[in-house]
Chains A and B, each alone.
Chain A
Amino acid sequence: MRRQLVRAALFLLAVVTLDACARKIHIKDLEPEEIETTLFLIGDAGEPDPRNNSFVLDSLKRQAAEAPGRAVIVFLGDNVYPNGVPIDSSLTWPDARRRLEAQVNAVPPGARGIFIPGNHDWQQSGPYGLYSVRLQERMIAGFAAGRDIRMLPGNGCPGPAAFEVGRLRFIALDTQWWLHDFIVRDAQSTCNTTVRGVTAALRELIRTTADGRVAIVAGHHPMMTGGEHGGYCGITGPFRRLGGNSQDILSSLNRTMRDSLESAFKVKPPLMYAAGHDHNLQVMKGAPNAQYFVVSGAGSQAKAACAVYMRESYYVSQHRTGFMRVDILRNKGVLLSVFDYSGAGVPGASFSRWLEVR
């Protein structure tokens, strides 16, 4: 018995020693002149505190304002909780306006702002969803007042909608379009509105990304997640699959969407697929269909939630707000940094990783 206890103690000692010797998280620093484009990823920010300024949005704005000319801020959906933007005669319209305005104001002058729609923006997957998304697009344009801040894809279209800045080719998708149970097109829709057409267009955009360019695809729904929508967290976790909620990874409709997107990614796996939806921060191995999957859905303090560290995870932060920053260097190199904030708002970069080694 004593010998066995000694063995156990030795094993524990080895574990502790290994921990001490193991790699620590080093936050990498860059010289500002090396950076060509900085992409900020923040999701599910549609529930800002009505009493206080959001320290996440404040911090994001400060970082983007250091070099606004090269900053692109992407809001990864669920920009207005709980039901998107209603018609302007609705009692909830002023509050929807407040929620959106707080985010538009986080885009400093000179920076580009992109709003991707999420399921809550589609009237929480409701029948008025398509029109709610269009109302939000108009509201954003009103706040932007001529600045480069817009909804992408626009007009309730599924995308893909792409733009290029330096080495970056950014491709935006409206993934709720795939999962919505109500009207997703009407006479005003002037875009691809079939699954086959959308998938083919995405495939073509990814295939034609020139060597040396960095392809980043973004949509609201994750391709992989260790959060609530991935069937983790809470006693309902493993049983959520029985519910058939299309917002969850385990549902068949969600799987159909992911299969279609992955079939498009296969031709030339993009560097990253970025999403929100789950209210935490996750960096995951995305192989074989994308190099990295990230979830950055921790834009609202009131929503911050659980996440599980999975075998595919590089980094997980739960119950904290935060955002991600992707610095694309001029010639070679892409650095991802994660900033998370404790309840008291203590800021800090908590993780960084070279997605493309310089």
Chain B
Amino acid sequence: MKSVVRLTALALVTLVPVIASAQATEAEIATLRLLAVPNTALPPLSLPMPASRNHNYFIGRFQVGYRKGPSGDRMPAFAGGVDFQYRGGSIVGITGGMQRRDCGIPGTDCGTHPLFGVRSQINLTTGGSIFAGLLHDNSATSTLGTEFGFGYAPRYSGDRNACAIDFGVPFSVAKRRQRPRFVGYLSPGIIWDFNCGSRGPGSTKTYKTDFGLALQQVGNRSFDIYFGMQKLFRGRTGFQTGLSFSYVRLP
């Protein structure tokens, strides 16, 4: 009996490290959780183009994002969404889409997982006086605001669910006297990711910077194209890049 116990103990001592090496580490799982939510999987957008305060507007949106996972594997994502722009300024919107999982980490699933999000961008001040002079364009418009996002990605790895909340301070500058308008945007911020009704590593906080360029009113008054990038200040997260297309329903 003693020999059986000794053999079992020996087997455990030798095999457990092997089994462990075939599993994702806590850090990798935490990174996967961070990258699974729409806050990081989809490209950032600028603050919405100002519109007349006379109306509210609905905006349809399609986004394609790309980034590499912690293993170096590709994690493309796509999503659609609808935003509501209140009185030509602030917006609140919902998003739903899919993302390809990082297959390169041992012990994690391949395939895709869904992602869902809610985002609000609050337009604090829109003017243009300073940038009109700097850009030599007296139609230049700058906007400063705040943004809040919530993201949810069920089953991003096995039965784990990811959630994240982010906060940013977006700033954008648009120029050009006629359509299409050129926009540059930047949004430093912070994101907290945590488990949503499932096991997993403890919550983490990551700083981020969203930035990009956009063409507003391409072809017609309603259609905008955004090229957005995101840098997360955390190891093995790389850059996120992507394109977004939006269409505003005008009265």
Contacts and interface: CB of A to CB of B under 8 A. Distances in A.
Contacts of A308: 50, 126-128, 141
A51 interface: no
Contacts of A4: 229, 239, 241
B6 interface: no
Interface in B133-180: 138-139, 141, 174, 176-180
B53 interface: yes
B89 interface: yes
Indicate the member of B54, B89, B132 with the most A CB atoms within 10 Å.
B54
B51 A319 contact: no
B235 to A, nearest CB: 14
Contacts of B176: 19
B127 A234 contact: yes
Contact of B50 (A7, A226, A235, A288): A226
A115 to B, nearest CB: 27
A306 B128 contact: yes
Nearest to A228: B127
A350 to B, nearest CB: 8
A319 B138 contact: yes
Indicate the member of B127, B229, B239 with the most A CB atoms within 10 Å.
B127
B87 interface: yes
Contacts of A314: 178
B22 interface: no
A320 B177 CA distance: 14
Indicate the member of A8, A285, A307, A309 with the most B CB atoms within 10 Å.
A309
Interface string A222-247: 01101000111111011001000000
Nearest to A342: B138
A307 B52 CA distance: 12
Interface in A1-42: 1, 4, 7-8, 11-12, 15, 18-19, 22-23, 25
Contacts of B91: none
Contacts of B125: 234-235, 237-238
A324 to B, nearest CB: 16
Nearest to A280: B138
Contacts of A310: 49-52, 88
Interface stretch (B33-41, B104-112, B187-195, B213-221): B213-221
For the residues of A in contact with B, the DSSP-based class is: loop
A187 to B, nearest CB: 37
B123 interface: yes
Contacts of B229: 4, 8
Interface residues of B, number: 43
A8 B52 contact: no
Given A4-B229, A7-B241, A235-B124, A15 B182 contact: yes
Interface residues of A, number: 46
Nearest to B211: A8
B200 interface: no
Nearest to B57: A311
B220 to A, nearest CB: 11
B251 interface: yes
A233 B127 contact: yes
Given A11-B227, A231-B89, A285-B221, A306 B251 contact: no
Indicate the member of A4, A18, A287, A315 with the most B CB atoms within 10 Å.
A4
Interface string B83-96: 00001111000000
Contacts of B182: 15, 19
Contacts of A25: 177-178
Interface in A306-328: 306-312, 314-320
B181 interface: yes
Contact of A250 (B51, B53, B141): B53
A189 to B, nearest CB: 31
A258 interface: yes
A314 B128 CA distance: 17
A249 interface: yes
Interface in A285-341: 285, 287-288, 306-312, 314-320
A181 to B, nearest CB: 22
Interface string B221-250: 110000101000000001101000000101
A284 interface: yes
Nearest to A235: B125
14 contacts: A18-B215, A19-B176, A223-B54, A224-B53, A230-B53, A235-B124, A238-B123, A308-B128, A310-B88, A311-B52, A311-B222, A312-B51, A312-B221, A315-B139
Interface of A: 1, 4, 7-8, 11-12, 15, 18-19, 22-23, 25, 223-224, 226, 230-235, 237-238, 241, 249-250, 258, 284-285, 287-288, 306-312, 314-320, 351
